Amino acid sequence: MLRHGIFGQRKKILTYIKMTPLLILIVGIACLVMGSSSFMTMILMNRSNDTTPVTQKNTKQTKPSSTKGGDWKKTGITFYGQSKADDNGLGFTGVDLFKHGKAKLEFNGKPLFPGAVFQADGAAYLYKILEVKSDDFTNHKTVYVHIVDVCNSGQSVCKTNTKKHGFLVDIHATAFDYVGKDDGLLLGSFRKVGELKPNDIPTSVWDGDYIICACKGACKGGDVTWKKKGTC
């Protein structure tokens, strides 16, 4: 009986030894599950107890907003700002065009330059970002243009150039080196890809304290909304 008892104890010990790795594995998994659960609980508690105020500084958009690109449309492309006689440097919205073009603004990691559309189209495109492309550009085949100006609907050259292809994008002098072109009426295409609103434009780019926030209709007279800079 004693001999049998010893053998019985040995069998039990061997059984425990064989089961030990399995028990360790089960205990380890349990610890991981409990640890993960505790960790997630701590995260949720910290999140729910977070009393840090959300300020305008933290939420203010400082980069252009991006939208899904629309359909490409045909456009005429012209260039302006070559001389003071052609352009005094002040955009329709109140932006200093040369400061804007040299402010190193970017969209999708590429330079963003000021430009204009025909005044009658201004209501739909003011402050929008257009992706413009043309096979006649020699350096970069596409350029991002921020519409902060208009080509005066009272000027015959603006009417003629717009009528030629049904739409007009006028690219400012600060983009000439980038696209490798500075003159002529080119054929190209464009699409809306984003927006940089007036309140998100660096204050150093504005010429004065009052700016055009928006316009409707033909973008003339009472159709134009003026406000103090930073209050659009």
Residue 12 tokens read as: 């039990």
- Report domain extents, the chain: 1-51, 64-228
Residue with tokens 């990691």: 109
Q: Is 147's pLDDT higher than 80?
A: yes
Task: Count CB neighbours of 182 within 10 A.
Answer: 14
Q: In which band, very low, low, confident or very high, does the pLDDT at 63 lie, cut at 50, 70 and 90?
A: low
Q: What is the mean pLDDT of residues 42-59?
A: 34
Check whether 52 has a pLDDT greater than 80: no
Using a 10 angstrom Cβ sphere, with 0-12 exposed, 13-18 middle and 19 or more buried, the burial of residue 154 is exposed
pLDDT at 65: 75
The mean pLDDT value for 33-43 works out to 41
What pLDDT sits at residue 31?
Answer: 44
Question: Is the pLDDT score of 58 beyond 60?
Answer: no
Superfamily of domain 64-228 in CATH is RlpA-like domain (2.40.40.10)
Q: Can you give the pTM of this predicted structure? A: 0.72
For residue 60, is pLDDT > 90? Answer: no
Say which residue the tokens 């590429």 belong to: 110
8 A C-beta contact, residue 158 and residue 212: no
Per-residue model confidence as pLDDT tens digits over 123-144: 999 999 999 999 999 999 999 9
* Confidence bin at 43 (pLDDT 50/70/90): very low
- CB-based contact 63:193 (threshold 8 Å): no
Point out the least confidently predicted range of 81-85, 159-163, 164-168: 81-85
Q: What is the pLDDT of residue 85?
A: 63
Q: Residue 61 — pLDDT band, cuts 50, 70, 90? A: very low
